[in-house]
Amino acid sequence: MKLQKTLLGMACMSALAAGAAQADYPNRDIRVIVPAAAGGGTDAIVRKITNLAEESMPVSMYVENVAGGMTATGLLQLMDAHPDGQTIAAITYDSIITIPWKDMLPGFGMDRMRMIARITKEADAITVAEDAPYQSLGDMIAAAKENPGSIRIGIQNMGARTHLTLLQLQDQTGAEFKIVSYDNSAATQKEALLNGEVDAVVTSLGDLAPLIESGQARGLVEFSDTQNEGFPNVPPVTETDTGLDLQMGSFITLVTPARTPDGVIDKLETTYHEAYETDEFQQWLTQIGVTPAWLGSEDVTEWSRDTQQQLFNTMDNLVEKGVLEK
């Protein structure tokens, strides 16, 4: 009986301590991991919303870039962090799809983290140099069918998101492109497009906004079903004459390590949602051509699992057809 009372007392004390810690959260600076290089689209968006969120926090929130391994390096640091809300991370498509599908990080899965919220989504797009002969997606597909392998298209990493987008386009149209792979960075794609190394690139319009705005490049199509207000001259694929409904792209979701207490998740979700709703953030997203796409903790958890299963099925089907290697 004494032992039972002792154990019960210890459990009560532990629960009280956990409750006190949640009530006191945050009591020191919060580290925000961006598993990508500084200066990219994900980095800019996370820094912008985190700076706004910090205004209503009693502590500092600092963004740290931990690039490498298609976000795997940053995910490792998140998984090793204490689940107290002092370390959070921004994850993207590769974190939820590419890494687990390829088993690039043994032991990693969505059960190793808790979702705070999804902030944005960005459709993939095809962008060409301003003087390219193609005026529409239909023109490019027709040219690729007439001369298979003659059109060079730059992607980010074999097997990653932009590769899958292009493989699906080939599979659904019968067109054949010459695929040129670069590291996981739009900067290398941008350079390749400017120097004529490739004829087009697949990435988001936001990644190439400076080139498009300066007139050095133009978006041909966006793989979405809605018009991007930031790029009114670039049609969504569903409004082209191709009959395609191929929708692909990335997103930014904020996460914490698994077992982070509910109270901490609630605090972070509320704080970031307030920052998300500000006119400053919404107007800034429009300027850079990124779609605001908030989903709270419960909704984004369900959406992530559904999206992962859907894309896993698509990728497995492409493997069976011999189009994609796992």
pLDDT exceeds 90 at position 254 = yes
| CATH number for region 123-248 | 3.40.190.10
What tokens appear for 318 in the block?
Answer: 């492409």
Cα 180 to Cα 203: distance, rounded to the nearest angstrom: 13
* 29-122+249-317 and 123-248 in the same fold: yes
d(CA 202, CA 37): 19
Domain spans in the chain, listed from the N-terminal domain onward:
29-122+249-317, 123-248
pLDDT number for residue 126: 98
pLDDT tens for 200-218 read 999 999 888 889 999 999 9
- The pLDDT, as a whole number, for residue 184 is 62
Which pLDDT score is estimated for 22? Answer: 60
Q: What CATH number is given for 29-122+249-317 in this structure?
A: 3.40.190.150
Work out whether strand 249-257 and strand 113-129 pair parallel, antiparallel, or are unpaired. Answer: antiparallel
The per-residue pLDDT for 11 is 46
Q: What is the pLDDT of residues 89-115, one digit of tens each?
A: 999 998 999 999 999 888 888 899 999
